[in-house]
Amino acid sequence: MSSDDKVVGRQDDLPLNAVLGSDLALSISDALRDDNPLVWVNRAFTRLTGYPAEEVLGRNCRFLQGADTDPVAVARIRTALDEQRAVATVIRNYRRDGTPFWNQVVISPVVDESGRVTHHIGIQVDVTDRVAAERAQDLEIDVPHEATARLDLLARISDELAQRLEYDDAVDALGDIAVPALATWGFVAVTDDRGRFDRIHLAVADPADREAAQALADEDIGWLSRAPKIIEALTSGPGFVATPYAIDVASLPGRTTPTQLALLRRLGLGSAMVVPLRARDRVLGVLTLVAVDGFSADAVVTAAHLGRRAGLALDNVRLFLAERSAAVTLQRSLLPEIPAIPGLDVAAAYIPSARRAEVGGDWFDVLPLPDGAVGLAVGDVVGHDLQAAAAMGQLRSLLRSYAWEGSSPGHVLARADELVRGLDIADIATCAYLRWESSGSGAHVTYARAGHPPPLLRLTGGEVLALDDGLSTPIGVAGPGGAEAKVDVPPGATLVLYTDGLVERRDRGLREGIEALAAALSALPDDADATAVKDRLVGGFVGTHQEDDVCLLVVRRARPTT
């Protein structure tokens, strides 16, 4: 980061210009590097301390300490940094020429999307005159309430919106957090793709006003389109800055119904601000704040920062929903309908992960073949996005094609691997392909595994066999390929194929998960049909916050009728 203060010209960069041109001494240090060195200071820092940027960048700011610097204050700062929280104190520091001054220091952590502290922002103010007039111990201050509250509010809203996977939930969260912190009451109103208001969520600072707020929310929201300030914000350009204004009470009867007007008066009228929720290419809606006794200066500043930050967060949710809708449609189109196969009882499940991406590369397939055999497959393409789903569809088509030719399982996977690498269809995929053949009263399965967890075969009486032979490298990784094995399937036996999302978790490795799955399968009654087996395994192994996609395919050989 450059130490030069660069003033940008766009009007929507005014907050940045204000920071760079501030008379406050500002500094940024890198929390991810040893000793938390400074990586940027502004000119006010040099004016305050006498140190030019080239002498301080790369150094810890302890060079400001001297003989009379209070070690208790230093320890207080160090403890706060270690605990990853903001801190403010007054400390005796020394300028480059050796002259002492009382420095009011505020240090705040900056976190990334994962919650990791990456930098610290420091603000230094010379309060020597104030200290000279009062006793030093009376000047030690806690974190400045207004600045800290503003940062905490913005961070809380960003964190909450980032966790929301539904648009309506995100809208509600914005209103429920922002309005009570900044105003007497207010609302978030968002528009549809044609710019028309289609949702409003009201929030209040006083719980006693919730009934009136809900009643107003239940009214027709057409009155929003008749509010001049709301339309002004909704159609505003990037340089628009929301400012408080006195509500034009005299005009309200002409643009509201008597019921709406009564509810507005019940909630309270006074000053208002309408903040556009600006996204990348348009305004998604407005955050309207009403303060009966007027707004503080800090509330006005916070609202200005909040509009763009919340707008981008809401837009991220909107874009995610659009992508998810397309992905789910693609996923459903690629998963097969299970055909009826004489002598076999088949059930399958696909459960998407609970993460933001609701689609991935997991799939299953059941394919009756021309020679009377049945092809069974379960696979997993690395990734959780549209690209993984598309690659999965291509790979599934390849396997179907080679299986239809009557090729053996090892040959099917080897040919798929060759073409995937040649055409760069997918990065890496694992797959188990089995060929189920019946002849007379007997049945057997020939199987091959390309880096995939072993299928499990439950025999009558509860014994469970892991089909852990026929293993080769995953598809997409150059390897010998062609390995396969064979096992007999007696009447009443149940075959279970699955992807690793069923058994692997953060607190349990793949091997332990497979052992747990085998134990659960063994404990099932002998007469459990394929659907019952599927339901019991899904219920026991798939959580409400599933981290990975899950495919499960259960095939049970029916007992001969007497």
Kindly list the distances between the CA atom of residue 411 and the CA atoms of 20, 367, 422, 475, 491, in Å, as whole numbers in the listed order: 65, 17, 16, 12, 28
Within this chain, do residues 301 and 340 fall inside the same structural domain, yes or no? no
* 350 shares a domain with 316: no
Whether residue 374 sits in one domain with residue 493? yes
Are 255 and 280 found together in one domain? yes
187 and 252 inside one domain: yes
Residue 6 domain flag: no
* pLDDT of the residue at 142: 41
Q: Are strands 471-472 and 442-450 parallel, antiparallel or unpaired?
A: parallel
d(CA 161, CA 435): 48
The CATH number given to whatever domain includes residue 198 is 3.30.450.40
Task: Tell me, yes or no, whether 314 and 357 share the same domain.
Answer: no
Rounded to whole angstroms, the Cα distance separating 165 from 324 reads 10
Identify which of 108, 100, 126, 102 has the alpha carbon closest to the alpha carbon of residue 25: 126
Q: What is the pLDDT of residue 533?
A: 95
CATH number for the domain spanning 493: value is 3.60.40.10
pLDDT at 498 (0 to 100): 95
Task: Please report whether residue 4 resides in a domain.
Answer: no
**What pLDDT score was predicted for residue 530?**
94
Question: Given 326, 358, 381, which residue is the final one in a domain?
Answer: 326
26 domain residue, yes or no: yes
Domain region containing 132? 11-143
414 lies in a domain? yes
* CA neighbor of 305 nearest in space, from 241, 244, 245, 246: 241
Same domain, 352 and 304: no
Same domain? For 360 and 451 the reply is: yes
211 and 80 in a common domain: no
Question: How far is the C-alpha of 176 from the C-alpha of 164, rounded, in Å?
Answer: 14
Q: Is residue 562 part of a domain?
A: no
Cα 244 from Cα 264, distance rounded (Å): 18
Chain centroid offset of residue 165 CA: 8
Dist CA 432 CA 470 (whole Å): 9
Total domain count, the chain: 3
111 lies in the same domain as 161: no
Structural domain includes residue 53: yes
Q: Is 225 exposed, middle or buried (0-12, 13-18, 19+ CB in 10 A)?
A: middle
Let me know whether 169 and 300 are in one domain: yes
Which tens digit of pLDDT belongs to each residue from 283-328?
Answer: 889 999 999 888 887 788 888 888 878 888 888 777 776 666 666 6
> Cα–Cα–Cα angle for 165, 171, 175, nearest 5°?
135
Distance of alpha carbon 541 from the chain centroid: 23
Does residue 3 belong to any structural domain of this protein? no
Residues in the chain, pLDDT under 70: 1-22, 132-150, 165, 321-334, 354-360, 383-390, 424-427, 478-481, 544-547, 560-562
Show the beta-strand stretches assigned E in 451-501: 456-458, 464-466, 471-472, 485-488, 494-498
**Burial (0-12, 13-18, 19+ Cβ within 10 Å), 97:** exposed
- Amino acid 332: pLDDT: 62
The pLDDT score that the predictor gives to residue 522 is 95
Q: Among 111, 143, 175, give the residue marking a domain's end.
A: 143
Among residues 296, 326, 356, which one ends one of the domains?
326
On whether residue 394 sits in a domain, the answer given is yes
Q: Are residues 438 and 476 in the same domain?
A: yes
What order of strands is seen across the sheet that includes strand 283-291?
A: 197-204, 185-191, 283-291, 271-278, 245-246
